[in-house]
Amino acid sequence: METRDLTITVNADLATAHWLFRFKGEQDHPAMQMWMRATAVCQKRQGNWQILHEHISVPFDPGNAQAVFTLNP
């Protein structure tokens, strides 16, 4: 997996992170060319960080509602 553009914001007991990633493998496979965006929200409870929410989105073409496999960040 290749990751880039990681951004982390931390408060006293709340943190968010978002980044772009793509899988690496067969170079000619469409899924290996697609970048996806991930977001995570974490909260500190009793001294431990816990994930409250995770979200992954796939880019799509709004004109035809199809996934776009060739976008580069």
Q: How many CB atoms lie within 10 A of CB 39?
A: 14
pTM of full prediction above 0.85: no
Domains of the chain: 2-67 (3.10.450.50)
The three-state secondary structure class of 30 is helix
pLDDT at 23: 80
Rounded Cα gap, residues 21 and 10, in angstroms: 21
Give percent of the chain above pLDDT 70. Answer: 88
pLDDT at 66: 85
pLDDT of 27 above 80? no
pLDDT at 14: 97
